Amino acid sequence: MVVFEGKTKVSSARLKEFDRESFEKIISGFVFDKAIISSVGVTPEFVTEILSSRGVFIHTLSYKSKLPFEIQYKTPETLGSDRIAALAGAFNFFPNENILVIDAGTAITYDFLIKNVYKGGNISPGIDVRLKALHNFTDRLPLASFKENFDSPGQTTHDAILSGVVNGVVYEINEYIRTFKKEHKNNKIILTGGNSEYIDTKLNNQVMRIPDLINEGLNFILEHDE
């Protein structure tokens, strides 16, 4: 949960267990008049009940929300709200630009916002998913755990796996950026997501890393919701 006052973030919290008591406790110190909900799963009923009881206007983000860009996606109902929010955040920083948004998390998403038109995007496995896949779909490869320092080329099976996976992700992202810059001379590249800090240090290309891009986008949408 993130709380903004205007464009300034004043508080953020991540809960291990999300229940009614925890939610009531965490919002008890704030007075606000509107909220936006973005979830890839089912939002517990107590969230809307508690917010409504406090007279809070609630916006549930979806492709039907009032957005500052056009969505050209054949199945917009399947477009994750986190990707929509990231695009709104990108627009907030760079309106009317050609933008590639790279979200390096559990999955790596590549979303293309061209002159305020969302052209679509690509999805590939993130680092942890690739590590688990090598372990689960082979007979003898161990489950390698991510660490920032490893031998490349690998001098052990663990480092060989880690080097292959991490370098593969970096090469993939570098090529997406190179191709995007080739096709769009006026461009902005934004990197976000849980693994973005580490990946940013490995890229050949200069990007703008915005860790809070999704929350910035959610606040932008809510601020402009009339």
Percentage, residues of the chain above pLDDT 90: 80
Clarify whether 82 is annotated catalytic. yes
pLDDT recorded at residue 18: 85
Which of 120, 131, 128, 136 lies closest to 80 in space, CA to CA? 120
Average confidence score pLDDT of the chain: 94
- Selecting among 19, 33, 82, 111, the annotated active-site residue is 82
Q: Where in the chain is the domain with CATH 3.30.420.40?
A: 62-226
- The rounded distance, in Å, linking the Cα atoms of 66 and 61 is 9
- Dump pLDDT digits (tens) for 154-192: 999 999 999 999 999 999 999 999 999 999 989 999 999
Per the CB < 8 A criterion, the answer to whether 39 and 81 are in contact is: yes
Q: Of all residues in the chain, what percent carry a pLDDT higher than 70?
A: 100
Question: What are the pLDDT digits (tens) for 29-56?
Answer: 888 899 999 987 788 899 999 999 999 9
Q: Is 62-226 a CATH 3.30.420.40 domain?
A: yes
Q: 140 pLDDT exceeds 90?
A: yes
At 226 the pLDDT is: 61
> Of 28-37, 78-87, 193-202, where does mean pLDDT reach its minimum?
28-37
Q: Yes or no: say if 161 and 134 are a contact pair by the CB < 8 Å rule.
A: yes
